Amino acid sequence: MNAVELKGLCKKYKSKKSGTREFELKDVSLTLPYGCIMGLIGENGAGKSTTISLMLDIIEKDKGEISLLGCNTAEERVKAKDDIGVVLDEPCFPVYFTAVQINKIMKSTYSKWNEEQFFSYLERFDIDQKKIVKKLSKGMKMKLSIAVALSHSAKLLIMDEPTSGLDPVVRNEIVEILLEFTREPTNSVLISSHIVSDLEKLCDYVAFIHKGRVVLCDEKDRLLERYATVHCTAEEFGRIEPSSVKGSIETHYGVDAVIERTAIPDGMDFEPVSMEELFVLFVKNRHLS
């Protein structure tokens, strides 16, 4: 059973002025099993937020199938949203509301809203309950969003760039909270970010989105086992089977490449790949002419 299943999801945005195609999400397919954390990695404008918006029915899809917690239609997903905690990249609560007022709203919104849990999170996150949202720092606002998302017994957390713009201490705290959340075997998290180091600490699965396409989607450990980084000369790089190269950058000092370990020529030095290298080389993949 999967918490999230996306099959062939497509969405086109057209430019308002020219009517030409501005952005296209092409054939996005993902599967997130229960109890796992999946990271959506991609550069800005790659299509991460669009994918999440489609999943949550904030925007309408052109094509494809979405299944959240086993609910396949938009009507079913409205009910499923009771079990889905959402954290968007920017907290969207009315800015003149306090955490106490937000509690009132959410109490009437989520059937399983746990007031005590919410206030215990507020205490834990050191959020002033009487302070209006406007006066909270960005980190505090994000923590407030997370507190809301975690206080209604959600089974699935969908988070869009929750750590962007936050300092490392707060980011680390959020990572810890999410790890704690997934200790429960039925809880799952789908998190998008371009801060790969955070996802590396957190994720079981990783999906790379580049220019509206999922270019890689696998278990994180398997990816790290499967690929390696090589730093070699252009001549040495020429000896590598091209189909095994997932990304490379040619510099004046040689070539940095991510390749499948099985295709590394004998005697060539290689290093374990980090998620960040994998991401950067996948995205850049350029050569000097």
Partner 1 sequence: MKKALVNQWHIVNRNFSLLFWFSVLHVLQLAFGFAVISDGFVIAALFSCLLSDGYAAKWKYYSRVLPISVFERVTASFIFAVAEMLIAFASILAASAKALGIVNALLPLADFDVLPDGVFTAVVAVLYFVAASIITSFCFVASHLFKRVLPILGSTIIIMAMFFLLIFLIVLNFETFLPAFLSAMNEAPWLLAFVAVFGLLLLPASWLAVLGIETVNNSRRKKHFFICAVIVLLISVLSLGAEIGYSYSKGYIDLPENNEEYLDGNETTTQPTASSAEVEAEKRIMNKLSDFLADGMAVDLTFEELDKRMESIGYIREGNKYVGESSKTEIGVTGDDTVTEFTVYNKSSCNTAVMTLEEYDSFSQKYRLGMSETDFLQLLEQENIYIGDVTEYYDFADGYEDRVIVRKYNIYIHVSRPKLVGYSSNAGMTVDYHTLTVHIADGKAVFVKMY
Smallest distance from partner 1 to CB 134, Å:
8
User: Closer to partner 1 at the Cβ: 87 or 207?
Assistant: 87
Q: Which residue has the tokens 């699935």?
A: 156
Provide the mask over 106-145, with x wherever binding to partner 1 is found by CB under 8 A and - wherever it is not: --xxxx----------------------x-----------
* Max CA distance (Å), the chain: 66
Residue 97 beta carbon to partner 1: minimum distance, rounded to whole angstroms = 8
Return the range that interacts with partner 1 (CB under 8 A); candidates 13-21, 74-82, 173-181, 192-200: 74-82
Report the nearest approach of partner 1 to the CB of residue 96 (Å): 4
Distance CA 124, CA 115 (A): 14
> Of the candidates 275, 267, 266, 47, which has an alpha carbon nearest to the alpha carbon of residue 258?
275
To partner 1, the closest distance from the beta carbon of 181 in angstroms equals 18
- Residue type (1 letter), 92: C
| Shorter beta-carbon distance to partner 1: residue 76 or 236 | 76
The CA-CA-CA angle for residues 285, 228, 42, to 5°, reads 45
104 versus 286: smaller Cβ distance to partner 1: 104
Nearest to 159 by CA among 131, 135, 187, 122: 187
- The secondary structure element, H or E, covering residue 146 is helix 138-150
Taking CB under 8 A as the criterion, the residue among 12, 14, 63, 104 binding partner 1 is 104
First-residue to last-residue Cα distance in the chain: 48
- Contact predicate 32/38, CB 8 Å: yes
Q: Return the range that interacts with partner 1 (CB under 8 A); candidates 32-40, 93-101, 236-244, 254-262.
A: 93-101
Q: Which residues bind partner 1 (CB under 8 A)?
A: 56-58, 75, 78-82, 84, 86, 88, 90, 92-96, 101, 104-105, 108-111, 134
